[in-house]
Amino acid sequence: MSCNRKLLQVLELIFKNMDVQKIKLRFGIIGNSDTLSRAIDIAVQVAPTDLSVLITGESGTGKEVFPQIIHQFSARKHAAYIAVNCGAIPEGTIDSELFGHEKGAFTGALSDRKGYFEVADKGTIFLDEIGELPLSTQVRLLRVLETGEFMKVGSSKVLKTNVRVVAATNLNILKAVKESKFREDLFYRLNTVPIVMAPLRGRRDDIYLLFRKFAQDFAEKYRMPALRLTEGAQQLLQNYKWPGNIRQLKNITEQISIIENERLISPEILVNYLPANEERMLPAIYKKDSSEEKSFSSEREILYQVLFDMKKDMADLKQLVFDLMQKDGGSNDLQQKNAMLIRKLYEDHEPDAVQHPVFKSSNAKTSHADVSHIQDTEEFVEESLSLVDKEMELIRKALEKHNGKRKHAANDLGISERTLYRKIKEYDIN
């Protein structure tokens, strides 16, 4: 019994593959990949039903063939089949195109007009680029799918239609739902049976088959010998990512057929027709290292960031000075360590500051006079934390450094001369 069951399964698989091959021949489908055969099998199985089908996949993968398969293998095959590109119809007229309009419904409506849903009654309508439908039209479409009812633009009369809807999109429809660009209820109503079209880079074994088919078609069209590829050119063809999928492959095959006199195509010839990979086609993106500072959107932000960094360093310095004063009667080692840290901070910001009395001798012990000097500085020199004061101080220093020459001062500050002139007038700096 087990042997008979296995034999039946093998025979069933053989007949199934024969049916798939017949469908490929009938609709001009090229390829032997499992994903392609699976998509065809789903289309044939769902065809006898009235379930809505949503076909997803990148642009150029051949989605437009599957609604025809579904229509031809359904009981509606003798009725109308209408394909509508939703992305090609202006938003202001899409409702009129799909559902029709009454005379006088809007400017230019000189007579009654039937919409696609009325014309395709008892047939199949293919809505390509369904993700481009306006939200208001999506509401109308949802009502047609659920109840079969619709109203013409400018009319209050409810009409009935019995239409099988097959939709397709190259958008990430779930992302569009999350961004409120596509109705969630409409998505689930259309996605009763999903068919996913694999990109050409996921069907590498089919790439050369498609090239041969296109090469033969163009040879007959232009009355010339068909193109052939060397082994290296075949590898190059199959390793390319094909962002435009089958449409791009067909376009490049036609270009080579017309332009090249040599019929045997080598990798050196083929590479001239393959655009650079996606990384080269897209604008270069510069990614900063984690150690680099963030980018700034204005000159003011740059100045503020410098001031904040100075404020942080000064706060650290004040804390060290305070610790040094508190440990005045403590060990000399601790005082020397604190003095070295203060010396390092001064060196980072102003190397000449090492001539400060505290640093006259790096090996000498810190005296009480030195500590008193630091204490006096803390007591009588009060630091201003105002950003405006810091900005004025930096501008004055830059002008003094360059003897009042605004152009050089502006370059030193990292701002434009016009901005510097405005700051001078704003702060009344002489």
Is 52 in a helix, a strand, or coil? coil
Q: Burial level of 3, CB count in 10 A (0-12/13-18/19+)?
A: exposed
Looking at the structure, tell me whether residues 84 and 127 fall in a common domain: yes
Which CATH number do you get for residue 225? 1.10.8.60
Domain-terminating residue out of 348, 363, 380: 380
pLDDT of residue 97: 94
Mean pLDDT in residue range 95-108: 91
pLDDT of residue 281: 38
d(CA 291, CA 41): 54
Domain-terminating residue out of 342, 364, 380: 380
Looking at the structure, tell me whether residues 333 and 311 fall in a common domain: yes
Looking at the structure, tell me whether residues 353 and 394 fall in a common domain: no
d(CA 356, CA 360): 7
Looking at the structure, tell me whether residues 255 and 222 fall in a common domain: yes
- Give residue 430's pLDDT band: very low, low, confident or very high (50, 70, 90): confident
d(CA 112, CA 103): 5
Mean pLDDT in residue range 246-275: 94
CA triplet 270, 276, 279: central angle to 5 degrees?
150
pLDDT digits (tens, 9 = 90+) for 165-186: 999 999 999 999 999 999 999 9
Above pLDDT 70, what percent of the chain? 74
Mean pLDDT in residue range 267-285: 68
Residue 8 has pLDDT above 80, yes or no: no
Q: Does 3 reside within a domain?
A: no
Q: How many CB atoms lie within 10 A of CB 264?
A: 12
Looking at the structure, tell me whether residues 41 and 169 fall in a common domain: yes
Residue 391 has pLDDT above 50, yes or no: yes
Looking at the structure, tell me whether residues 188 and 218 fall in a common domain: no
Residues 6+ apart with CB under 8 A from 101: 95, 109, 112, 113, 115, 152, 153, 154, 155
Looking at the structure, tell me whether residues 183 and 206 fall in a common domain: no
Residue 334 has pLDDT above 70, yes or no: no
Looking at the structure, tell me whether residues 116 and 168 fall in a common domain: yes
> Do residues 180 and 13 make contact, with C-beta atoms less than 8 angstroms apart?
no
The token pair that represents 128 in the structure block: 């390509």
Looking at the structure, tell me whether residues 328 and 225 fall in a common domain: no
Return the higher-pLDDT residue of 82 and 109.
82
Question: What is the residue-averaged pLDDT of the chain?
Answer: 81
Q: Does 260 reside within a domain?
A: yes
Q: Does 289 reside within a domain?
A: no
Q: Does 188 reside within a domain?
A: yes
Is 123 in a helix, a strand, or coil? coil
The token pair that represents 211 in the structure block: 């090239």
pLDDT digits (tens, 9 = 90+) for 198-236: 999 999 999 999 999 999 999 999 999 999 999 999 999
pLDDT of residue 377: 43
Looking at the structure, tell me whether residues 39 and 77 fall in a common domain: yes
pLDDT of residue 360: 45
- Give residue 421's pLDDT band: very low, low, confident or very high (50, 70, 90): confident
**Residue labelled with tokens 């569009």:** 176
Q: How many CB atoms lie within 10 A of CB 293?
A: 9
Which CATH number do you get for residue 83? 3.40.50.300
pLDDT of residue 294: 45
The token pair that represents 357 in the structure block: 């009395």
Which CATH number do you get for residue 415? 1.10.10
Q: Does 259 reside within a domain?
A: yes
pLDDT of residue 324: 63
Domain-terminating residue out of 148, 170, 198: 198
pLDDT digits (tens, 9 = 90+) for 56-71: 999 999 999 999 999 9
pLDDT of residue 17: 63
Q: Does 22 reside within a domain?
A: no
d(CA 119, CA 99): 9
pLDDT digits (tens, 9 = 90+) for 351-388: 554 444 444 444 444 444 444 444 444 444 455 667 77
Q: Does 407 reside within a domain?
A: yes
Q: Which of 126-135, 208-217, 416-425 has the lowest mean pLDDT?
A: 416-425
Q: What string of DSSP letters covers 205-263? A: HHHHHHHHHHHHHHHHHHTSPPPEE-HHHHHHHHHS--TTHHHHHHHHHHHHHHH-S-S
State the total domains in the chain: 4
Q: Which of 37-51, 123-137, 284-298 has the lowest mean pLDDT?
A: 284-298
pLDDT digits (tens, 9 = 90+) for 308-323: 777 777 777 777 666 6
pLDDT of residue 9: 55
Mean pLDDT in residue range 280-306: 51
Is 19 in a helix, a strand, or coil? helix
Helices (H) and strands (E) in the chain, counts: 19, 11
pTM metric for this prediction: 0.61
Looking at the structure, tell me whether residues 76 and 173 fall in a common domain: yes
- Note down the domain range covering 391: 387-427
Return the higher-pLDDT residue of 404 and 29.
29
Q: Does 10 reside within a domain?
A: no
Strand partners, 54: 167, 194
- Give residue 105's pLDDT band: very low, low, confident or very high (50, 70, 90): confident
The alpha helices in 102-244, defined as continuous H runs, are 116-119, 135-147, 173-178, 184-190, 204-222, 231-239
Looking at the structure, tell me whether residues 90 and 190 fall in a common domain: yes
